[in-house]
Amino acid sequence: MELDKKGIAIGNTTEDKKQRKRFIMDFYKMWETENPQKQVFNKSLKDFVNVRHISVKETTGQASHRYISTLAVTFLTEILENATQKGFPQNTNPQKDNQKGFEKIITMEYNKKDLGKIKLTVGVKRGMKEKVQYCITAIENG
């Protein structure tokens, strides 16, 4: 298994994907230690985006499929702070169990130099309207 200088597996084998899942989970643990409030103020939304268990679960499941998406996760704070909203908030997908606690889903993008576009999906919790990071993935460029 070949790793980049951050320790992320760059291949596409099952073992590479498992290693990236572990990397993302470990990254979130470290991030939460450095950010005990587990939130970052987003300039576009003019509100805090919170990192919760669903953030780790969904991002680990999605971003581990591709090296570039795993790499994107390492810029978590920068993405949460600077991503901009694209279009209007959408209703949640009733077919997705992970979205059941949300009333709306906001799609955001962040253009990271030397990496490309990164998609940040934010869920708006029912009732309390708390904004929660749902998922981060890199968008295919080209």
| Triad 53, 29, 71: Cα angle to 5° | 95
d(CA 48, CA 27): 20
Q: State the CB neighbour count (10 A cutoff) for residue 88.
A: 8
- Residue-level pLDDT at 142: 44
Structure tokens at 22: 């572990």
Residue appearing with tokens 């993008």 = 109
Which residue ranges make up each domain of the chain?
14-138
Low-confidence ranges of the chain (pLDDT < 70): 141-142
- Three-state SS at 90: strand
pLDDT in tens, 97-118: 888 889 999 999 999 999 999 9
Residue appearing with tokens 């940040």 = 120
- Enumerate the β-bridge partners of residue 133: 122
Distance of CA 77 to the CA centre of its chain: 10
